[in-house]
A and B are shown apart, each in its own frame.
Chain A
Amino acid sequence: DTAVSQTPKYLVTQMGNDKSIKCEQNLGHDTMYWYKQDSKKFLKIMFSYNNKELIINETVPNRFSPKSPDKAHLNLHINSLELGDSAVYFCASSLRERALYFGPGTRLLVL
């Protein structure tokens, strides 16, 4: 079974649209994350969330919002998509040992 899964794997959409990416982890981890990996391959944290606290990277536009229906899920909603949002988005989870377990990524292309 996949430990951290994301859907969809590919997302092609027009500027101005609203889209969501879903993430689920079956590892029993208490913290989940969203990362953005740009064309230069830098990984940038967008959000981290556990059942107590949402930490937002202040550089992330408020068009991006995480939604967590339960501890195993952290979805990413993006409003009014822009060309610069094109990137690979990774969901990840972790527990006390600090190591992150990443999903396969969602490749977003905004046209």
Chain B
Amino acid sequence: SQKIEQNSEALNIQEGKTATLTCNYTNYSPAYLQWYRQDPGRGPVFLLLIRENEKEKRKERLKVTFDTTLKQSLFHITASQPADSATYLCALDINYQLIWGAGTKLIIKP
């Protein structure tokens, strides 16, 4: 069956360290993959989009990798801050249809 998996448990990271979140998928062949941030009581906010022919994409302290062989994307936040605490969602972009993971809750501790 087709599915997307993100770390189901909350990820606790010490401030200043790099946080790494995982998005694994099966039986899909997305041309794009997107990452969003969602704070409690708010809508998701777009962060980064990476194409299937891109291995890595960066934006400030954020870095996304996309391995179509492993069917995995990694989302990194370097020099993490308490303000980075949120739920992070990955979404597979297949012909303009987004298939969403359930998200990983990230907690950055001071």
Are A102 and B43 within 8 A (Cβ)? yes
Report the minimum CB–CB distance from A36 to chain B (whole Å). 11
Query: In the assembly, what is the distance between CA of A103 and CA of B45, in Å?
Result: 9
What residues of A have a CB within 8 angstroms of the CB of B98 in the complex? 43, 45, 100
Are A98 and B49 within 8 A (Cβ)? yes
Which of B34, B41, B43, B45 lies at the interface centre, i.e. has the most chain A CB atoms within 10 A of its CB? B43
Pair count A-B, CB < 8 A: 44
Known interface pairs A42-B102, A43-B89; A100-B96 also in contact (CB < 8 Å): no
Judge if B16 is at the interface, Cβ distance under 8 Å: no
What residues of A have a CB within 8 angstroms of the CB of B100 in the complex? 42-44
Judge if B2 is at the interface, Cβ distance under 8 Å: no
Are B43 and A41 within 8 A (Cβ)? no
What residues of B have a CB within 8 angstroms of the CB of A4 in the complex? 43
**Residues of chain B at interface, number, CB under 8 A:** 20
Are B42 and A97 within 8 A (Cβ)? no
What residues of B have a CB within 8 angstroms of the CB of A48 in the complex? 96-97
Are A98 and B32 within 8 A (Cβ)? yes
Known interface pairs A40-B102, A42-B100; A100-B87 also in contact (CB < 8 Å): no
Query: In the assembly, what is the distance between CA of A42 and CA of B100, in Å?
Result: 7
Are A41 and B44 within 8 A (Cβ)? no
Q: List 25 A-B contacts (CB under 8 A).
A: A4-B43, A41-B102, A41-B103, A42-B100, A42-B102, A43-B89, A43-B91, A43-B100, A44-B100, A45-B97, A48-B96, A48-B97, A92-B43, A98-B32, A98-B49, A98-B93, A99-B46, A99-B49, A100-B36, A100-B44, A100-B46, A102-B44, A104-B42, A104-B43, A105-B42
Which residues of B pack against A, CB within 8 Å? 32, 34, 36, 41-46, 49, 87, 89, 91, 93, 96-98, 100, 102-103
